[in-house]
Structure 1
């Protein structure tokens, strides 16, 4: 059983932020977010927030990745589709391939360093305004069998389902429609599993690592079982859209309004979001 806390206040033995070299604006944003919520007090010294250079999809030779077996035949065929024919949030784009390779880069570091509780952030994260007060008590309630704990995310298949049951106050299982890798906690065992599941690529990376599910009769749904995923609700982190997207096939039509609505829905209302 992996330790869930390393000290009185410390939770994480590593923190990685994925950021493209050309997106200094995003790096400045995430640094402000980290300072605002006092994130470093939750990180066990000598570990500190570590910036990891992302993989720029614009510079990738996607045809070569397909020939090398990194991308499946189906994935490559769908990659070549016109943008309007792609499945939003599912099909590969240049940005989505770069995103997957960036997360794999971090997972390899976590495995090599045998991290037991690593926080991974994307550079468009925004933290809950009460993050510093909420995280510690929430983390103490995380079940010992966790593989990945999402600080938030989209719940794409929640519509027309019963309310999601809670494992404990503020914590529930992540179900098969859970998407986003904006902010999550992972250990080396689950990171190794994610490396196994995420190539060869057919779909975006969060789909690949969410495919192994088990039934939950109470929820009338299936939860992600390997690696076993939990999610905080209300969310402690959201992905904002005002920086644009390189991953999805289209940007938000009204980023400021969408971000404000998501803050209200998740941070204030305690609900979940779909897109």
Structure 2
């Protein structure tokens, strides 16, 4: 299976690290030069951005560049000859299971369009699982939001369909792909591998600073009571797959599971 790595021309340190990371497992990748949103003019940014904002904040240049970089990879895959290919961002760590899973595509379910192979450590809803032979991993339908695009496998046919949703940019690419709030999610058969075989770590996000700046402009800091409530909610969410009556009922009455996808380096 071909692996495509998104990498900015200025991020030579990340490219060197990915050479080491893939090399230690005997894997290779094709570098795809990322689109640097910070180098685009305002006219170029406006030309690709939807007139109606659908996200909580305006799309910063780095976010737009990330979206266009993934779109670039999908265009390559859609025009290629391989049935499946993997896409990675350049700040990931791979698990030992990655070598087996990325070496061939025989294990991939016939109806799979998109397979998320990383974890964001959030609690997610999965369908009935199946073991991937020769590995410690399973796959299951992804039935809830699970953000980030550090690593995923996509079919050639799905790449063609996904590009139809990417003509204009109104939300980050990970929301578009892995958030049921947006229409691409329901149009694809999306699976999740667990434990995940990659995770973003070791590098500071190049677009998170832009997000934080814009969020400060568009959101008011909550009051002290609001901060207390927020921390209580966060604590509950971290264990909600165990404590929530609704989620417990799901576990008892169906083969669906709420769980936190782990990662084993």
TM-score under structure 1 normalisation? 0.66
**Map of 1:124-135 to 2, 5 A cutoff?**
124-133=91-100, 135=101
2:40 is matched with 60
Shift in alpha-carbon separation, 1:57–1:136, aligned structure 2, 3 A = closer
* CA–CA separation in structure 2 for the residues paired with 1:137 and 1:271: 26
* CA–CA separation in structure 2 for the residues paired with 1:31 and 1:149: 23
Indicate conservation of the 8 Å contact 1:174/1:224, yes or no. Answer: no
2:191 is matched with 230
User: Helix, strand or coil: the match of 1:26?
Assistant: helix
Q: 2:126 aligns with which of 142, 161, 164?
A: 164
Q: 2:86 aligns with which of 119, 123, 139?
A: 119
Instruction: Give CA deviations for 1:190-226 in whole Å, capped at 9, x if unaligned.
Output: 111121112311110122234568xxxxxxxxx9442
Indicate conservation of the 8 Å contact 2:114/2:191, yes or no. Answer: yes
2:112 is matched with 146
2:164 is matched with 196
2:66 is matched with 99
User: Helix, strand or coil: the match of 2:88?
Assistant: strand
Where does the alignment leave 5 or more consecutive residues of structure 1 unmatched?
A: 1-11, 41-48, 79-85, 214-222, 252-269
2:7 is matched with 19
User: Helix, strand or coil: the match of 2:49?
Assistant: coil
Are 2:25 and 1:37 aligned?
yes
The structure carrying a bigger helix percent of its residues is 2
Shift in alpha-carbon separation, 1:75–1:61, aligned structure 2, 3 A = farther
* CA–CA separation in structure 2 for the residues paired with 1:94 and 1:110: 25
* CA–CA separation in structure 1 for the residues paired with 2:20 and 2:69: 22
| RMSD (CA atoms) | 3.1
Indicate conservation of the 8 Å contact 2:111/2:189, yes or no. Answer: yes
Please say which structure displays the higher CA radius of gyration. Answer: 2
Shift in alpha-carbon separation, 1:243–1:136, aligned structure 2, 3 A = closer
Instruction: Give CA deviations for 1:141-194 in whole Å, capped at 9, x if unaligned.
Output: 432100011212336563xxxx63433131111233121211111122111112
* Equivalences, count: 209
2:206 is matched with 246
Indicate conservation of the 8 Å contact 2:7/2:34, yes or no. Answer: yes
